[in-house]
Chains A and B, each alone.
Chain A
Amino acid sequence: MALAGILNTGRNSLVAHQAALSVVSNNTANAETEGYAKRDARLASLGPMAGVELASVRRRTELFLGARMFEQRAEAGAAGSRRPVLELVEASFAAEDGGIGARVDAFFDALRVLATDPADTQLREDVLAKAEALAGTVRTEAGRIADQRREVDRMLADKAEAVGALTAEIAELNRRITELEGSGQEASDLRDRRDVLVDDLSALVPIRTFYDETGQLTVLLGDQFTLVQLDRAAHLETEPDANLAGMRRVDLVSADGTRTDVTNVLRSGEVGGLLEVRDDALPAVLADLDRFAYDLVDQVNAIHQAGYGTDGGTGRDFFEPVALNGAAQSIRLSAGIGDNPEWIAAASTAAEAVGGNDNLLALVDLASQKVAGGGLRTFSEEIANITSVVGRMSRDAIDDETRAGLQLDQLESMRASQIGVSLDEEMIDLTRYQRAYQAGARIVTTADELYQTILNM
């Protein structure tokens, strides 16, 4: 064994441990970096009597968690985009004074009082004012929900665009990783970045990923549609569709330009959450309100038409007749009655036109009859029921978001345990490699002393 060999071994040790120390320092510096996976320095023997080398720097990868995390992130994203919308809707039903429920009560209560003095003009005007307020509140709240729905539709366009931006960047990273690693260079930083982007994407739409035989990442939308393959990216486009009453349809546009309607495929992720609230939750509330308004107009008018006003007129509508679809947004007093309180048909016969209250009593009876909600509930109970339904929707979104968030936290923690940086570990490695470096230096000085000895002989 030549002295030069020992010197070389010392040199190799210095080089290898310096490299290992740089890995440790990089880990330490990135301990809090989002998406950073710990790099492991692999030292290996250089063969017989040749010392050590830094064989590789491995980027840690997590196992098993990927799919679960995408799922939970999509759940959390869906609930998180549903919640604020539903919370705004439920605020319309939270008001104890001035809400639709209180207005319904006020209307029937004004009729009850009028029944004690059916010809009194002031009490008649009070009934009209309360009916006006009821119709106005129903119109406003239904209009607010419809506006909310259009707002959700606009947000959908933004989110769909964000999906396209992410897939394009992931495809670009795929290309650069292939390029770098093909030329034998290390691309861990790009892989970190790509993982972060995939995480972001999984919050927007339900995805699945797998690595192909060349180690490149393929991203699927749902189970069947390709979002990213190699350096080719698909994106989402939204476009108002007549079949969805002017709301936006979501199309998947693949790299070669093929369009597929995926509106009904997206069931989770922020995009899925927005679609659900736009197509299921809000229309359900609006339909309930329409049904309520339609029944109210229909039932009140039927009785009102049969009665007589103090001017002897009969067959008049109280509310303007409405179609079921959109009833809540168009309910209003019938033309003329607002300025003619004498038109209120209190009496049930022409002879009792002034002073009779039999027809009013029939109207008051409506308040306690189960004629709303498909004949299951009174008008007040129907509003209470819609309040419960809206509250439950909002509660579900809050609970879903919390639950998915907690599970996601746990998965994140498991992933951090697998691939994150532990400072204690790094400090120990730092000390280890520092000592090894010092030892390498000692080999060099020792070899040097041996040379001196020989030279001094």
Chain B
Amino acid sequence: MRITQQQLHGVSLGSLQHARGRLFALQRQSASGVRVERPSDDPAAAGRARVLSSLMAAQEAYETASSYALARLQTADGALSQASNLLVRARELATAMANDTVSAEQRAAAATEVRQIRAAMIDVANTKYDDAYVFANVATATAPLDASGNFTYDVDTYDEVLEAELGASNRTEIGASGAHAFARRAADPQSVEVVDELELLAQALDANDADAVRAQIDQMDLAHRQVNAERARIGSRIQRVQEAAEAARTQHTLYEELRSDLVDADAVETFSRLQLAETTMQAAVAVAGRVLGPSLVDVL
């Protein structure tokens, strides 16, 4: 075969450029640690990586949403714990005042305390978290109980609590039900109107009616049980929200690993390939020097 100067130069230049191109690509990969920097580096992986980034972002949103929900539920939990304490005190008073030896003055004093407990109970039911009434169910800008202790919403219609998406197709209850904690609902014959029962107790004490006071002890028990039942539900909601947050964190890590497998460069492999490319480059330079060197021109 006839070999000409242009061929020699063409081949040397071609192989040098090829080696330089490969070296450059690997240098960029090693420096950035990323294998798929642009979609054209691996179109399929770039698409998958985008989907995984979306999933990761969603997990972050689930975590944020969980922390909001948790703060709201914990506020409700604190409020119900307070309500429970108030009812324990009211029952103590009722038990003490049910005794026939107690005087009318003592009962009147107890009535005053029960009215204070009732006022405190209204405040508890109207607990706010960040400008929203936690026991209001939907109408969070309106206090669930008015000054006279009446519900401002229909407790039979709104006895469900707010739900939110805290995981892929995972709807979790994130609200507290004022209806379940404080109201007498048609659906539950055992339920009592907590604030009204306290008022009845106060009236019985005012009337110095020991039998009526005795009757309210049972009502206080029912109210206490009712408040604690909702508190238990809130406890299990808190647990579910925490589980959702934990699941979101786990999923996030999983997706991050999958994404990294797709788009990140394996350090060991990249460096060994970089070394190979450097060797190839050196070889190409050395060969180019030799190819372009000897000719009859040097000899004749």
Give me the interface of A with B, judged by CB distance under 8 Å.
31-32, 38, 86-87, 90-91, 93-94, 96, 101-102, 104-106, 108-110, 112-113, 115-120, 310, 347, 351-352, 354-357, 361, 364-365, 367-368, 380-381, 383-385, 387-392, 394-395, 398, 409, 412-413, 416-418, 420-425, 427-428, 430-431
Contacts and interface: CB of A to CB of B under 8 A. Distances in A.
Interface string B10-54: 110010000000000000000000000111111110111011011
A119 B43 CA distance: 42
A420 B47 contact: no
B227 to A, nearest CB: 22
A421 B9 CA distance: 12
B40 A119 contact: no
Given A112-B65, A120-B130, A423-B5, 8 more contacts: A90-B38, A91-B38, A109-B58, A113-B65, A351-B138, A365-B165, A381-B54, A416-B4
B1 interface: yes
Contacts of B53: 96, 101-102, 105
B300 A391 contact: no
Contact of A116 (B54, B65, B138, B168): B65
Nearest to A385: B47
Contact of B47 (A347, A351, A354, A391): A391
| 6 closest Cβ pairs, A-B complex | A391-B39, A420-B4, A388-B47, A109-B61, A391-B43, A384-B50
Contact of B164 (A93, A361, A384): A361
B295 A427 contact: yes
Contacts of A113: 61, 64-65, 68
A349 to B, nearest CB: 9
Contacts, number: 187
B57 to A, nearest CB: 4
Contacts of B142: 354
A352 B50 contact: no
Contact of B54 (A31, A380, A388): A380
Contacts of A383: 50
Nearest to A398: B40
Interface in B244-282: none
A145 to B, nearest CB: 14
Contacts of A381: 51, 54
A21 to B, nearest CB: 14
Contacts of A392: 39-40, 43
Contact of B9 (A32, A112, A422): A32
Nearest to A420: B4
B7 interface: yes
A130 to B, nearest CB: 11
B62 interface: yes
Interface in B44-94: 44, 46-48, 50-51, 53-54, 57-58, 60-62, 64-65, 68-69, 72
Contact of A387 (B6, B7, B50): B50
Contacts of A90: 38-40
A286 B123 CA distance: 58
B99 interface: no
B38 A102 contact: no
Given A94-B38, A116-B69, A391-B39, A421 B57 contact: no
B130 A112 contact: no
A422 B2 contact: yes
Nearest to B11: A413
